[in-house]
Structure 1
Amino acid sequence: MSAIYRVRAEASFAAAHFLSNYHGKCENLHGHNYKVRIYAQGDKLDEGGMLLDFGILKKALREVTEELDHKNLNDIEFFKGNPSAELIATYIYNQMVMKIPDTPIWKVEVFETDENLAIYLPDGDKE
């Protein structure tokens, strides 16, 4: 069995949203201070002994989260009126793959609060 390496970067952003297909408080406009963690995974290291330079992962994640920062997420077409934490994680994954396509993104975590998070695992990968 070969070794697996994982690296993680973290960023945060503040945004507003409401959930159109929800019956409760969250159907009203409100905001969160989101925290995002993104993980890359692989089994090979480069000549420098790294899976991926943290700076590359962190820079791309910050660019993606800056696009969401201080926005009403309902105004972004991707969410179609329901910017749940699960869809935010999916959106961030998709944007990261476009920014750094050769990076094996393994997992995206989106925290709406310190206690509540959604996880996106591409291709149904298992943790």
Structure 2
Amino acid sequence: MRIFNEFTFEAAHHLPHIFPDGHINTRLHGHSFRVRVTLEGKPDSRTGLISDLGAVKSAFDSAVEQLDHRYLNEIKGLETPTLENIAMWLWRHFAPALPGLAQVGVYRDTCGEGCEYQGEFEMERTAA
């Protein structure tokens, strides 16, 4: 069984090393991001819960404090803030506090884009 909770944040970023000079995404711009955190497990026989969603909210609040109305490129680990890197950053943020973490989804609904990550791999980090 799976449960989820969602939150949103607003942030600015740019992607200078991915696209050729002059590409629209090399310029500073912002998005409204929606994040869905999914937990998986068996409901506790006494409480009927997989997890207390209050713990999920607490983990969200900590992440939102770091991300909301920020310039993502300045956040350690998000120097290249693609959807993929944001999802992995959030996974690393949530995993210690949320047993049963199954998926982190990051969506830019106005663009019709998103990334869903199950913590299966980490990209190699290379020095810039």
TM-based fold match above 0.5: yes
1:6 aligns with 2:23: no
Cα distance between partner residues in 2 of 1:62 and 1:46: 28
Counterpart code for 2:37: I
Gaps of 5+ in 2: 122-128
Q: In structure 2, the residue corresponding to 1:51 is in which secondary structure?
A: coil
What are the equivalent positions in structure 2 for 1:87-126 lying under 5 Å apart? 87-98=85-96, 100-101=97-98, 103-114=99-110, 115-123=112-120
Deviation of residue 11 (structure 1)?
A: 0.5
Deviation of residue 30 (structure 1)?
A: 0.2
What are the equivalent positions in structure 2 for 1:25-44 lying under 5 Å apart? 25-44=24-43
What are the equivalent positions in structure 2 for 1:21-60 lying under 5 Å apart? 21-23=17-19, 24-60=23-59
Against the structure 1 CA distance between its residues 87 and 46, is the aligned structure 2 distance closer, same or farther, given a 3 Å change threshold? farther
Counterpart code for 2:95: V
Aligned residues: 117
Query: Normalising by the residue count of structure 1, what TM-score does the alignment of the two structures yield?
Result: 0.84
What are the equivalent positions in structure 2 for 1:51-90 lying under 5 Å apart? 51-80=50-79, 82-90=80-88
Cα distance between partner residues in 1 of 2:74 and 2:2: 34
Query: Normalising by the residue count of structure 2, what TM-score does the alignment of the two structures yield?
Result: 0.83
What RMSD over aligned residues (CA atoms) do the two structures have, in Å? 1.5
Once the two structures are superposed, what CA deviation does each residue of 1:18-76 show, in whole Å capped at 9, x if it has no partner?
01222221111000011100000013525201100112112211221221011100001
Aligned position for 1:16: 12
Once the two structures are superposed, what CA deviation does each residue of 1:74-117 show, in whole Å capped at 9, x if it has no partner?
0012023x10011111111111123x15x111001101234111
Cα distance between partner residues in 2 of 1:122 and 1:45: 24
Cα distance between partner residues in 1 of 2:45 and 2:88: 28
Higher helix share goes to which structure?
1
Cα distance between partner residues in 1 of 2:51 and 2:104: 16
